Structure 1
Amino acid sequence: MWMYLGLLSAVFLGLHNLCKKHAVQGNEVFPVLLGTISSGFLLILPFYLGSQFAPDYMRDLGFYIEDIPLKTHGFIFIKSAIMATSWVLAYQALKHLPITIVTPIRSAGPFFTFIGAIFIYQERPSPLQWIGFVLIIGSVILYSRIGKKEGIVFTRNKWILAIIAATFLGASSGLYDKFLIQSLALTPQTLQFWFCFYTVLILLVIMAVIWFPKVEKRRAFTWRWSIPAVGVLLQTADYFYFKALQDPEALIMLLSAIKRSQIIIAVVIGGLIFKEQNKRKKLVPLTGIMLGVFLILYS
């Protein structure tokens, strides 16, 4: 069952990536990011209020948000800090790079998760899983060669370095999620609510220093319908992902790989919508990534 939940998460993540590209393209990154996270927070806020004033009803619905100790709040704040940094880097890169380049690089995330799963959680890969991960990484390298034809030199482009750093931090957060969900026994909705709450606070502090004081940046921001859509789709995807992680048999390295199937939506549909270059050539490494994911699932 946890694999199907992972696939559901991937579908919503793919739609989330398309809306995110629309929201950030030619726009100010920080208010877009704050708007998306705030929208997700407002989506979950009624569940928190319901848990405070009608706890039995929310328990029956399965969306009760629990009271947690101060120490657990600290653990969630760490996740918020990791993901806030990752998103700032990723949104900046997405603003300056084609979605058909950014999304496949993000697809290397399972490799970092894979290494962490081996050394931290002692998850043991099979030979087919090893082959699958080699295929994924090899396909991302092939994307780098295609990217050069679009004027993007991977070794000298700071936005490429930003998206790689964002991918590493995102993978670290994925490993951390297993600890939060399984070791601390947090429910998905409890983790999502407090994670959004602390992330909004972190972004407000950052923006108070580097964005709000600059009038020209405030004027450059454009509100778009896709901004709240990103927040809603992300929270929906995260809910299914955290539900999958609740299963004691769930393997974080396989879940991370399953989520990469979102790139079908981002590369194929996104390439058509945003009219990006070399779409046919990008289907070759896309096939390699999908084959790698298939081998992991098949194994």
Structure 2
Amino acid sequence: MWMYLGLLAALFLGLHNLCKKHAVQGNEVFPVLFGTIFSGFLFLLPLYFGSLFYEKQLINMQLYIAEIPWKTHGFILIKSAIMASSWILAYQALKHLPITIVTPIRSAGPFFTFIGAILIYQEKPNFLQWIGFFLIIFSVLLYSRIGKKEGINFKRNKWIFAIIGATFLGASSGLYDKFLIQSLELNPQTLQFWFSFYTALILLVILSITWFPFSNKRKAFKFRWTIIAVGVLLVAADFFYFKALQDPDALIMLLSAIKRSQILIAVVIGGLVFKEQNKRKKLVPLAGILIGVGLILYS
């Protein structure tokens, strides 16, 4: 069952990435990012108040936001700091790079998760899983060659390093999620609500320094409906992902790989919507990534 929940998470993540590309075009990254996180927080807010006044009903619906000790709040704050850093880097990169380059690089995230799962959680991969992961990495390298044809030098372009950093931090957060869900026994909606709350606070501090004091930046900001859509779609994706992690048999390295199937939406549909270059050539490494993911699932 947890694999199907992972596929649902991938579906919503793919749609989330398309909306995110539209939301950041011609906009400052920080206010867009804050808008998406705050939208997700507002989406979850009724569950919080419902948990206060209609506890039994929310528990029966498996949507109850539980009370947690301050120590657990501290653990969630750490996750918020990790993901805020990852998203800031990713949004900046997405603003300056084609989605068909950004998304496949982020698909290397399962490789970092894979190594962490072996070292931290002692998850044991088999031969096909090794082949699948190395095929994903090789396919990402093929994308770098295609990226140069779009004027993107992977050795000198700072946005490439930004998206690599975002990928590493995102993978670290994925490993941390298993600790939060399985060791601390947090339910998905409780983790999502407080994570959104603390992340919004972090971004609000950043905005108070980099955006609010400058009237020209505020006037240049363009609100788009996709800002709200990104927040809601991310909540949906994380909900199914955390639900999958609640299964004690769930392997974080396989879940991370399953989530990469989102690139089919981002590369194929995104390439058509945003009319980016070299779409046909990008289908070759795309196929390599999908085969790699398929080998992991088959194994």
Structure 2 gap segments, 5+ residues each: none
Partner of 1:254: 254
Aligned to 1:125: 125
Query: Hey, what does 2:189 align to over in structure 1?
Result: 189
Report the counterpart of residue 163 of structure 1 in structure 2. 163
Q: How many Å apart are 1:27 and its aligned residue? A: 1.1
Shift in Å, 1:21: 0.2
Residue pairs, 1:81-100, within 5 angstroms? 81-100=81-100
1:222-270 C-alpha deviation (Å, 9 max, x unpaired): 0001000000000000000000000000000000000000000000000
After TM superposition, the score normalised by the length of structure 1 is 0.99
Cα deviation for residue 74 of structure 1 reads 0.1
Corresponding residue number in structure 2 for 1:6: 6
How much has 1:75 moved relative to structure 2?
Answer: 0.1
Q: 1:90 & 1:217 partners in 2: Cα distance?
A: 20
Q: How far does residue 156 in structure 1 lie from its aligned partner after superposition?
A: 0.2
Letter in 1 for 2:233: L
Q: Supply the AA of the counterpart residue of 1:42.
A: L
* Equivalence for 1:15: 15
- Opposite residue 215 of structure 1, the aligned amino acid is S
Q: What is the alpha-carbon distance in structure 1 between the residues aligned to residue 259 and residue 60 of structure 2?
A: 29
Shift of 1:217: 1.2
1:147-204 Cα distance to aligned partner (Å, 9 max, x none)? 0000000010000000000000000000000000000000000000000000000000
User: Which residue pairs with 1:69 in the alignment?
Assistant: 69
- State the partner residue of 1:40: 40
Q: Percentage identity across aligned positions? A: 79
Equivalent-residue separation in structure 2 for 1:85 and 1:141 (angstroms) = 24
Q: Which runs of 4+ in 1 moved over 4 A?
A: none
Query: 2-side partners of 1:150 and 1:163: how far apart?
Result: 17
- Correspondence 1:172-211 to 2 at 5 A: 172-211=172-211
The letter for the 1-side match of 2:221 is F
Aligned residue in 2 for 1:238: 238
* Matches of 2:216 and 2:291, distance apart in 1: 46
Shift of 1:215: 1.5
Task: Tell me the distance in 2 between the aligned counterparts of 1:164 and 1:7.
Answer: 24
Aligned-partner SS, 2:121: coil
What is the RMSD of the two structures over their aligned residues, measured on CA atoms? 0.5
Distance 2:25 2:93 in 1: 10
Extract unaligned runs of 5+ from structure 1.
none
Are 2:60 and 1:60 equivalent residues in the alignment?
A: yes
Name the structure 2 match of 1:294: 294
Matched residue type, 2:116: G
CA distance in 1, matches of 2:35, 2:217: 15
Distance, in Å, in 2 between the alignment partners of 1:16 and 1:210 is 25
**Are residue 50 (structure 1) and residue 57 (structure 2) matched?**
no
Q: State the secondary structure of the residue aligned to 1:120.
A: helix
